[in-house]
Structure 1
Amino acid sequence: MFIQTVKTPGLAHLSYIIGSQGEAAVIDPRRDVDDYISIAKQHDCRIKYIFETHRNEDLISGAAILANLTHAEVKHGPNADGEVQYADVVHGGDSFNVGNIGLEILETPGHTKDSISILLFDSDFNDGPVGIFTGDTLFIGDVGRTDFYPGQVQKMAGMLFDSLRLIESKAKQAIIYPAHGAGSVCGDGMAEREFSTISHEMNNNPMLKIQQRDTFISKKVAEHHYQPPYFSAMERLNLIGASAYNAPRIVSPKQLAHVDQAKQDLGWLIDVRPVEAFLGGHYPGSLCLPVAMLTAYGVWLLQPEDKITLIAQSEAMANKAALQFSRIGFDHTHSYVPAEFAKFAAAGGEVASLNTVCATQVKELIKQDWQLLDVRKITEYNQDHIKGSKHIFLGHLPEKLNELSANKNYITMCASGMRASVAAAYLRAKGINNVQVFMGSMGAWQNAGYDVET
């Protein structure tokens, strides 16, 4: 018997393949499914079942793709908002065998109406469930968000409370296998570790420790979560099933010599190198979106139908970025341009850069009427911020551009300077050129001993 976790960086997504006696099952597969097939082959197993714990909002499911390749049966919970065309509906109490592994379905709505959890039994021992796959219902250190149904947050929070009590009653000693880890948009308080038990969570998870249903509901209603606009596209694709993706082709930097024409032909120029590399030199008009930040902020600044050309240090980096985009349904990433700035400049091309400023410089620039633009999450900003700063969450820049002026001077800031660099590049690409990046941002400001407001 084996259980193996397949992690998806950027999305903090956790999927699983389990197997015994030549049979295997996959729980919540991502779009690129080669790893599951490879693991099954290593264990000499045939993938028999694919389970989805809910219809994902933040990534494309690979269930339909994997089923087409393996002829496995796909199982999905009841009450989905539409027919999941590639899956059979399962209900609480349904059971399945994978070799010596027994699986039993629990209906655990709350995060979504179709959420299920899956109890795992070792058929050789009649001692209750040894594990439980909780999807987005229960995480390590947190529980699922309940704000995906407008006007129904209280109802969904109540359903989640009841589902968590059901999990406690059915699997108190079980190991928990959630669908996300720390860094996911599906929760705020997740632990960095990826191992725990239901019993441990009952005693230590702040939300599970709340015993009063009304108190739990009030706490969930008061939460603040951002919903990237691409979520609706994911929900649609995860009803009909998505196709595989294609790697980008290589384009010569010479095609960028005339930026306006290049943007028409190649779409958005997305520089996926580290922030520090972008600041030192980049193609004019390109956005700064390091690979690690693509899925967190690309989904806000771009649309799934946008044509995208990647700027990367290597073909491997470009392919990694294209794969990250494909996992969230951004399928028009067809081109890759090498970051060959010396050759580009020698051939007459223009290379741009972004200026950075430190805490002492920021303090002086504010006196000279430079506007400090804080692009952190509102929860971060409310905790502490610099007096006089203007707050616009990085993801809301596209819809808040009308609040900014091309004639004004801006300093972008966040917690460290990473998101500030992304914001500055986006503003420059949109014609707001008088922008500098506060490198170090809030961390540097506080370490310099300057005052903040709360």
Structure 2
Amino acid sequence: MLFKAIKTPGLAHLSYIVGAGGQAAVIDPRRDCAIYAEMAHAQGLEITHIFETHRNEDLISGAGILSRMTGASVYHGPNPAGDVRYAQTACEGDSFDIGQLRIEVIETPGHTLDHLAFALYDTAYGKGAVGVFTGDALFVGDVGRTDFYPDRREEVAGLLYDSLHKLLALGDQAMIWPAHGAGSVCGSGMAEREFSTIGHERANNPRLGLADREAFIAAKVAEHHYQPPYFRTMERLNLEGGAPVAPVLRPKALSLAELRDCGADHLIDLREPMAYASGHLEAAMCLPTGMISAFAGWFIEEGQSIALIASETDQLETATRHLARIGYDKVLGGYTGVVPAAAQGLNMVRTPMIATEEVEERLAAADPNWTLLDVRDADEREAGAIDGSQHIYVGELAERWRELDPARHYTLMCASGMRASVAAGWLSARGFRHLDIYLGSMGAWKSVQA
């Protein structure tokens, strides 16, 4: 018998493969999906079923691709947005046998209207579900966001409440296997653990502890979530079916001359913020490899071309894979060697880092030509902000940078300085030259003010 969770770094996406009796099923596969076929083959299993908990917003599904690869049937919930072209519709009460395992379908709308959960039973031990694949309905420590239907906010929050109680009815013994873990944009309060049970969540999950349905709805409606523009692209592709990824996700190596002449819509510097700040190529934005999944979808439009800049070739391959999982395939190539470029006399742009003492001095001086720009999210800002600072969420700078004055001096801040570096890099690539970054940002400010 096979049970394996596969985590996708960056997206904090969790998919699963289960198998018995020569058959295997995959739940919520990612786009680069050869890994599932390889796992099944290694165990002597044939993938016969592919289940999707919902139409994902934050990544391209690999369900249709894996189906073409293996011949397995794909099952998806009833979808008001239209038929998922590569899938059959599964509904409440449907069940599927995978050897001695049985998967039963539970309709769990709320996060999305097509959402399903899949309860797993072992027919050799028939008393209760072993566990349930909860998708984005129930996480470890949190529940799914319900902001995708803004005109029906109360209704969909109520649907999620009802769906969660259907899951709770499976019994405290049942394990939960969600589609995302901590760090995903699909929830903000997830635990670092990626395993739990219905009983543990019943006792510890804050959203499940709310007194009644109305309190739950009020809490969900009051939440604030951001929706990067690329979500709409993911939704469309996950209705149509995404194309397979390239067999080799290693970008072409570019010389400095080729980098300068490639005509890419975006130059992305993958190095860590301190390296970027110490010197970067003009027009290059700062997007460290580990932040691509969270922020590329804010700044890069569908179909735009990309050239990558890194300190080592492994960064290029990892970044290309992250980009492919969210639909950015037009990577023209990658360049390594920023220091040699400087040695050749190429103009480098620096972004200074400043400390708390200097921020305090600037605030006290009230310079009319200086702004402390806080790029944290709205919830962080509400929990505590520096008096005199201005707020624009880092992702929203993709459009709202036009509200800012390139002649003005901006100090970028976030919680630590990481997102501030991304924001400064975007502004630098737009021609802003009077920029610096508050190193340590809110964390440093709190430690000094304590």
Secondary structure of 2:150's aligned partner: coil
Partner of 1:346: 343
Answer yes or no: is the 8 Å Cα contact 1:131–1:171 preserved in 2: no
Asked whether the equivalents of residues 254 and 344 of structure 1 are also in contact (C-alpha less than 8 Å), the reply is: no
d(CA) in 1 for partners of 2:209 and 2:445? 37
TM superposition shift of 1:80:
4.0
Post-superposition CA distance 1:43-79 (Å, at most 9, x none):
1111111000000011100001111111111010113
Matches of 1:76 and 1:342, distance apart in 2? 50
1:253 equivalent in alignment to 2:256:
yes
C-alpha separation in 2, matches of 1:405 and 1:416: 25
1:18 is aligned to: 18
Q: Residue 287 of structure 1 aligns to a residue in which SS?
A: strand
Residues 145-156 of structure 1 aligned to structure 2 (within 5 Å) = 145-156=145-156
- Tell me which residue corresponds to 2:442: 442
TM-score norm. by structure 1 comes to 0.95
Which segment is superposed worse, 140-149 or 211-220?
A: 211-220
Deviation (angstroms), 1:347: 2.8
The answer for the alignment partner of 2:193 in structure 1 is 193
2:296 to 295, 298, 301: 298
Q: Output the CA distance in 2 between the equivalents of 1:82 and 1:307.
A: 30
- 5+ residue gaps, structure 1, are none
Q: Once the two structures are superposed, what CA deviation does each residue of 1:62-104 show, in whole Å capped at 9, x if it has no partner?
A: 0011111111110101134111000000111111111111110
Asked whether the 8 Å contact 2:56–2:234 carries over to 1, the reply is: yes
Q: 2:359 aligns with which of 354, 357, 362?
A: 362
Quote how far apart the aligned CAs of 1:151 are. Answer: 0.4
CA distance in 2 between partners of 1:16 and 1:396 (Å)? 34
Residue 42 of structure 1 is matched in structure 2 by 42
Q: 1:101 maps to what in 2?
A: 101
Residue in structure 1 matched with residue 327 of structure 2 by the alignment: 329
Q: Look up the SS of the partner of 2:118 in the other structure.
A: strand
Q: How many residues align?
A: 444
Change (3 A) 1:331 1:256: closer
Alpha-carbon distance in structure 2 between the residues aligned to 1:34 and 1:328:
17
Q: Please give the TM-score of this superposition, normalised by the length of structure 2.
A: 0.96
For residues 359-382 of structure 1, give each alpha carbon's deviation from its aligned partner in whole angstroms, at most 9, with x where no partner exists. 111122332622100000011011
Mapped to 2, the partners of 1:449 and 1:231 lie a distance apart of: 39
Q: Which amino acid aligns with 2:256?
A: P
- In the TM superposition, 1:30-429 aligns within 5 A as 30-246=30-246, 247=249, 248-256=251-259, 265-338=263-336, 340-366=337-363, 367=365, 369=367, 370-429=370-429
SS in structure 1 opposite 2:346? coil
Deviation for aligned residue 1:117: 0.4
Q: CA deviation at 1:253?
A: 1.2
Structure 1 residue 283: Cα displacement = 1.4
| Aligned-partner Cα distance in 1 for 2:392–2:205 | 31
**Shift, 1:449, TM fit:** 2.2
1-side partners of 2:436 and 2:343: how far apart? 27
Residue 327 of structure 1 aligns with an amino acid whose one-letter code is R
- 2-side partners of 1:211 and 1:410: how far apart? 45
Structure 1 stretch 217-226 or stretch 277-286: which is displaced more?
Answer: 277-286
Alpha-carbon contact 2:409-2:434 (below 8 Å) kept: yes
Q: Secondary structure at the match of 2:281?
A: coil
**TM-superposed deviation, 1:218:** 0.9
Indicate the SS of the match to 1:386.
coil
State the one-letter code of the partner of 2:33. V
Flag the 1:72–1:135 CA change in 2: closer, same or farther, 3 A: same
In structure 2, relative to structure 1, the CA distance for the partners of 1:256 and 1:33 (3 Å cut) is: closer
Contact 1:131 1:174 in 2 (8 A): yes
Q: 1:376 to 1:146 in 2, by over 3 A?
A: same
Which amino acid in 1 is paired with 2:106? L
* C-alpha RMSD over aligned residues: 1.4
Give yes or no for contact 2:311–2:338 (8 Å, CA) kept in 1. Answer: no
Q: Displacement of 1:447 after TM fit?
A: 1.5
For each residue in 1:173-223, what CA deviation from the matched residue of structure 2 results, as whole angstroms up to 9, or x when unmatched? 200000011111111111110111011111111111224111111111111
**CA distance in structure 2 between the aligned counterparts of 1:211 and 1:383, rounded to whole angstroms:** 24
SS of alignment partner, residue 152 of structure 1: helix
SS of the residue aligned with 1:273?
Answer: coil
Most deviating of 178-187 and 211-220: 211-220
Quick check: 2:57–2:232 contact (8 Å CA) kept in 1?
Answer: yes
| Contact 1:95–1:105 (8 Å) recurs in 2 | yes
Q: Distance in 2 between matches of 1:240 and 1:294?
A: 24
CA contact (8 A) 2:259 2:307 kept: no
Q: 1:75–1:87: 8 Å Cα contact kept in structure 2?
A: yes
| Secondary structure of residue in 2 paired with 1:138 | coil
Tell me how far 1:316 sits from its aligned partner.
2.2
Distance in 2 (alpha carbons) for counterparts of 1:386 and 1:121? 53
Counterpart code for 2:349: A
SS in structure 1 of the partner of residue 372 of structure 2: strand
Deviation of 1:224 (Å): 0.6
Q: Which moved more, 1:401-410 or 1:286-295?
A: 401-410
Residue segments in structure 2 that go unaligned for 5+ positions in a row = none
Residue type at the aligned position of 1:285: A
